[in-house]
Chains A and B, each alone.
Chain A
């Protein structure tokens, strides 16, 4: 098992029983999945055939629930075995790797030493308890991340937790969770971060990134970074709202809504907007790629979107739980940080009520003062001028 110069990736695939015909088909289906034109296929094939060795990668788990690992295990185009055996060499992957204990850590160390790897980070960065909220192999997880990220070609922050702390960072953020991008900025580490929010990450997007890097060479030429939005998210994936691509959008425009679970409208598959659907405020292509190998997705299964893809890696308070709760209500409250929430409707009610009462009282006053009909008599001159004149006159 000596490390040496390896044949083309295609040779590898061939040695694993993949025929050229299958291989072309495979590239074709990847292109279709990514919404690329068929014309891209020869380019992808050429890119793979000129490769020399599998792209090394590390998959680190921070304050995670392993849900993103679970999620990548559900992908079928290609299936997870192809990803971890034929496309990437993921040398550290806590939830599924064979090695354990110190031997697992050594696999990571060796990869870090060699460099040129992609770091995939799942879960939030646990800064709480002075970094002791997560300790692995006697080291704070924050130290591990800093080291691994510094030497990586790029960091893929998968899942909302890795992007901005996710639910773990929701108020009162008991464990000091933050996102990878913020952590690296604080540490002065300039490795580029690609953010892939939703809880968990949709595995199709990881595959899309892998294809961008491996088949289209977009990391090598840096173009992958040009296709990111202000939040470091690939525009292709996060450029449109769920609402805009929702199959129930027609019902929204027609004004056909579900007002109550268990109702006739629900059975008809009407729009879930009045039940608090966060589709209009959430930007992912879930309605298009769907979930679990396209078998379904939240709204199709009858649930309003809860906006688990909302994330803001550039500042605190934008995590999807703080932004999206109460999930099944149309929102009226404006969160004001430590001051709690305020509901414009309530504020308006109070202010309007006070104003209304004041106006009524004022009206009564006006009546009493006899100003109703044409108003009071005008002052002969401004009170200020009168005072001044009096003063001036006194001198």
Chain B
């Protein structure tokens, strides 16, 4: 029996500590700790309802758009504002661009190094690499130059961000050809440019990324013009093309070498999504990626925000009461010590219907699949066939499934985003586009439920005397990295780590893979 600690878990947003107990080469227990406390909710209180949009999105530099939208929606709900059709589309496009950006960045920049060994790529034969790329139907680029660049880096001895990487780790698929490693490294570099183009869409429509400006209470302050929409559409088409012809083929080419990852990393099997991308009805369950909860087998029910509660027994807060709804809870930070038997995280144990539910692309894609969203069904069914698991969506509840779901969602969102731009263009042809609803500041309470690329996000706001009286956020990562609750029930990531094979306790590659698959 050994306690194994990975701290910091790198290539994620923020600071995370993962501790596991390994018995007989498998994880038998796990503790996940968020090691940073900032107290954003207290900063927002007492300020104008509009200010929360700007401040609260800065919780997360990778998913600020989603926090911003959830915040704006909570303010609009509290003050009884409904937004016009044009603003709905503009917000969807900006959010969609962030999904594209985030998922591409996650797969290549953050996660790929868990499956692809850059040193192995040096053994590749460049000619064979082109052949393999063609066979896999993925994008080709100057593989020779990439290999030379890599060789220069290695020969130089200054490895920069690759310093102390686990090169040659036995958990890298032994039978994965060096040429596939080289393709992936080449696309790792290419992806940096593609994700940046997705962010440029937000640069145009939101002012900048990370942290955007335009989705203000009442609609949007972005005014679409032919010129700007053209800049946006051109980029989205390029990204969409790249996702379909590089990212998805890469996923399908690499996945078969890691089929064992269908056998672990699944977790609680309970899922939640508030849903994202509004259709004209603004109804959670009819969003393009609809809301839902999966608590019992693969059956989906409508989500109910009243069922969200937070436990703090294992978190560094000295609240008198626990298991409260986010709009009632108050976070009184009080660090004691890191103790896996007692308190060990700044994250609260957020639960849906008292159960640890996973959030993120896997939740959304499963819910969309079960709700019969056709493009999602086509994508998932196609992938299941490719993996030899046709008709068995339950295999997606695994490490590999979680990775695949994210990449498939990228393809779906790419199409949607292009579609919304087209809708705005059509609306402009037909005359004007309504973008903003004038309103007064009113007292009231409301919440905004939405999805970040990494999972469900909810903001709760109470306005009193024209100022924010209460503000509470349940961030996506809070769901997934939740510590134990009052009864000692593990959080989703902790549960997903159980059963993970560990070949080397010094370098627990699979533990990192599972933790990272949540995009925490």
Contact = CB atoms under 8 A, between A and B. Distances in A.
A149 interface: no
Contact of B158 (A89, A168, A171): A89
Contacts of A262: 218-219, 434-438
A301 B204 contact: yes
Contacts of A372: none
A54 B156 contact: yes
Given A292-B199, A301-B205, A136 B35 contact: yes
A74 B15 contact: no
A37 interface: no
Interface in B143-201: 145, 148-149, 151-166, 189, 192-193, 195-196, 199-201
Given A65-B58, A104-B10, A96 B153 contact: no
Interface in A42-77: 53-54, 56, 61, 63-71, 73-76
Contacts of A328: 48, 50, 216
A84 B163 CA distance: 11
Contact of A297 (B145, B155, B193, B207): B207
A283 to B, nearest CB: 17
A313 B157 CA distance: 38
B183 to A, nearest CB: 16
A246 B113 CA distance: 43
Contacts of B159: 1, 89, 91
B81 interface: no
Interface stretch (B39-47, B129-137, B298-306, B492-500): B39-47
B29 to A, nearest CB: 18
Contacts of B55: 167, 170, 321, 325
Given A17-B145, A293-B203, A301-B222, A136 B8 contact: yes
Contacts of B38: 63, 124, 126, 133, 168, 174-175, 177
Contacts of B192: 73, 79-81
A96 B11 contact: yes
Interface stretch (A222-230, A302-310, A359-367): A302-310
Interface stretch (A2-10, A26-34, A185-193): A2-10
A137 B7 contact: yes
Interface in A135-179: 135-138, 167-168, 170-175, 177
B61 interface: yes
Interface string B216-244: 10111111000000010000000000000
B209 interface: yes
B438 A292 contact: no
B213 interface: yes
B333 A2 contact: no
Contacts of B202: 292
Given A16-B153, A65-B58, A301-B204, A260 B438 contact: yes
B335 interface: yes
Interface in B311-350: 316, 333-335, 338
A369 interface: no
A267 interface: yes
Contacts of B54: 306, 327
Contacts of B208: 291-292, 296-298, 301
B49 to A, nearest CB: 9
B158 A174 contact: no
B158 A6 contact: yes
Contacts of A23: none
Given A16-B148, A303-B221, A101 B7 contact: yes
B59 interface: yes
Contacts of A54: 156, 158, 160
B200 A295 contact: yes
Q: How large is the interface on B (under 10, 10 to 19, 20 to 34, 35 or more residues)?
A: 35 or more
B37 interface: yes
A73 B50 contact: no
A298 B222 CA distance: 10
Nearest to B508: A101
B162 A61 contact: no
B255 interface: no
Interface string B1-20: 00001111111111100000
Nearest to A57: B160
B381 interface: no
Contacts, number: 322
B221 A136 contact: no
Nearest to B336: A132
B35 A167 contact: no
Contacts of A170: 43, 55
A130 interface: yes
B105 interface: yes
Interface string B398-427: 000000000000000000000000000000
A341 to B, nearest CB: 10
A239 interface: no
B62 interface: yes
A308 B57 CA distance: 13
Contacts of B512: 100
A107 interface: yes
Contacts of A56: 158
Given A15-B155, A104-B164, A200-B61, A74 B199 contact: yes
B6 A76 contact: no
Contacts of B50: 326-328
A303 B214 contact: yes
A85 interface: yes
B51 interface: yes
A73 B8 contact: no
A308 B214 contact: no
Interface centre among A61, A74, A80, A94 (most CB of B within 10 A): A74
Contacts of A171: 43
Contact of A292 (B48, B148, B196, B333): B196
Given A170-B43, A296-B204, A301-B204, A261 B218 contact: yes
A74 B196 contact: yes
A266 B13 contact: no
A94 B161 contact: no
A67 B211 contact: yes
A101 B509 CA distance: 11
B209 A95 contact: no
B453 to A, nearest CB: 12
A133 B36 contact: yes
B58 A293 contact: no
Contacts of B105: 73
Contact of B8 (A65, A75, A137): A137
A187 to B, nearest CB: 21
A308 B59 CA distance: 15
A94 B160 contact: no
A15 B151 CA distance: 8
A199 interface: yes
14 contacts: A1-B157, A53-B158, A54-B160, A65-B58, A66-B61, A68-B61, A73-B195, A76-B196, A85-B149, A91-B160, A94-B8, A99-B162, A129-B334, A269-B223
The 8 A-B pairs at the shortest CB distance, nearest first, are namely: A67-B61, A292-B203, A174-B39, A262-B436, A98-B165, A303-B213, A298-B207, A291-B208
Given A291-B209, A298-B213, A303-B214, 5 more contacts: A74-B200, A99-B163, A172-B42, A301-B205, A302-B207
